Amino acid sequence: MAAPQTFSLLAFTFSLLAVASTVTGSNITQILADFPEYSSFNSYLSQTKLADEINSRSTITLLVLNNGAMSSLAGKHPLSVIKNALSLLVLLDYYDPLKLHKISQGTTLSTTLYQTTGNAPGNLGFVNITDLKGGKVGFGSAASGSKLDSSYTKSIKQIPYNISVLEIDNPIIAPGVLAAPAPSAAVSNITGLLEKAGCKTFADLLVSSGVLKTYESTIEKGLTVFAPSDEAFKAAGVPDLTKLTQAEKVSLLEYHALAEYKPKGSLKTNKNKIPTLATSGAGKYDLTTSTSGDEVILHTGVAPSRVADTVLDATPVVIFTVDKVLLPAELFGKPPSPAPAPAPESDTAPTPSPAEGPSPMAASPPAPPMDDSPGSAPSDSPAASENTKAKNAADGVRSPSLLTALVTLTALAVSVSLCY
């Protein structure tokens, strides 16, 4: 009796350790840093934040271009275009040199990261891999009529079966990718984009408060917007915004954006507090993140909110919709607040209102997935911390708390085995 119990507790302990180690993942920036001939490619992976996206995934083949091959792209196109071109070199499958030469029927199509962006119509996000005669392997766009004008040259690194890094001699160019317009046109009309995405209330508030100008002033440096849907503003627990002072309203709206480019992959790998446009002093008006599968949850210290859709990802600007208004603890955290603050637990009672229904985020069950904990295994007991100022210290405590949990479990396992 004792042995199985001890065993299962220990097994649990080790499974937690395993979770902890996947969180670290591989670091493509570091892998490529050992090879100066890929410095340009590596630098673009960082600038476009593709590095974060790669690090957040566990089965990847990265096709790498050396500095010479990269010169046909580098500096010749807007960053958003280079990002799309490089996304096509991130295959969402594992190919080591052996597997490349063993493709059944000698030819296959692989999905790429580009396919996941929603920017790739038809099969433009797929890459054709063909085992050619004489041991050569060719790569090309899967779009019909495309040539296999890129070839495998050598293997750089493999971490079986998570990441394989292979060198190819030319970029794979899907039709139209390089001709894409710079994002400036789209970005010049943020409110138009927001309205089309079902965030008219938010767009109107940005205009009437003047905060839109603050957003626009940071576009060149980088801008990330978390736009609550119109439903989010109608949800139970959202404070009456007409009761806020002008300064509070400005802070609330500035809290919904970052002065940096943080696409989904960067949010997924983030482990720090993220300052918002409302942040002026240390530890004020910041956000933390956790993940649940492929989802990113934002934590304000009052209530969590799920990142729903990507409205626009055009380096260095990214606009997301979120399914809750982000309520900063600085305005809504104190229970005896002058504003009709929501009960701090409001997030745990997500009133199955129409709010969850017709919106684009209906992908996940409307039930309480927002309840902080699911999936974000190694985080501190979030339900408690979410409601308290202790949350402010939570980030520094995150990994120690995991350690504490492990130590506790191990001690428990030992004491159980002693008892029997």
Ligand X SMILES: *[C@@H]1O[C@H](CO)[C@@H](O)[C@H](O)[C@H]1NC(C)=O
- Beta strands at 317-322 and 107-111: parallel, antiparallel or unpaired: unpaired
The least distance separating ligand X from the CB of residue 207, rounded to whole angstroms, comes to 11
The least distance separating ligand X from the CB of residue 104, rounded to whole angstroms, comes to 10
Q: How far is CA 243 from the centre of its chain?
A: 34
Residues in Cβ contact with 30 at an 8 Å cutoff, skipping those fewer than 6 apart: none
The least distance separating ligand X from the CB of residue 122, rounded to whole angstroms, comes to 13
Looking up tokens 């943020």 gives 190
The least distance separating ligand X from the CB of residue 409, rounded to whole angstroms, comes to 20
The least distance separating ligand X from the CB of residue 27, rounded to whole angstroms, comes to 4
How far apart, in whole angstroms, are the C-alpha atoms of residue 235 and residue 237?
6
Which ranges in 226-303 belong to alpha helices (H)? 230-234, 246-254, 264-269
Of 39 and 162, which has the nearer Cβ to ligand X?
162
Of 147 and 154, which has the nearer Cβ to ligand X?
147
What is the Cα gyration radius of the chain? 24
The least distance separating ligand X from the CB of residue 10, rounded to whole angstroms, comes to 19
The least distance separating ligand X from the CB of residue 19, rounded to whole angstroms, comes to 9
Residue nearest to ligand X (CB): 192
Of 66 and 270, which has the nearer Cβ to ligand X?
270
Which ranges in 25-121 belong to alpha helices (H)? 28-33, 39-47, 50-55, 67-70, 79-87, 97-100, 113-116
Q: Which residues bind ligand X (CB under 6 A)?
A: 21-22, 25-27, 29-30, 33, 55, 58, 107-109, 128, 130, 148, 159, 162, 189, 192, 195-196, 269
Of 128 and 346, which has the nearer Cβ to ligand X?
128
How far apart, in whole angstroms, are the C-alpha atoms of residue 310 and residue 222?
16
Buried b (16+ CB within 10 A) or exposed e, 246-267: eebbbbbbbbbbbbbbbbbbbb
Residues in Cβ contact with 255 at an 8 Å cutoff, skipping those fewer than 6 apart: 276, 277, 278, 285, 287, 300, 326, 328
Of 127 and 322, which has the nearer Cβ to ligand X?
127
In sequence order, what are the beta bridge partners of 165? 62, 157
Of 21 and 246, which has the nearer Cβ to ligand X?
21
The least distance separating ligand X from the CB of residue 364, rounded to whole angstroms, comes to 22
How far apart, in whole angstroms, are the C-alpha atoms of residue 158 and residue 282?
41
For residue 220, count other CB atoms closer than 10 A to its CB: 11
Of 196 and 243, which has the nearer Cβ to ligand X?
196
Of 183 and 350, which has the nearer Cβ to ligand X?
183
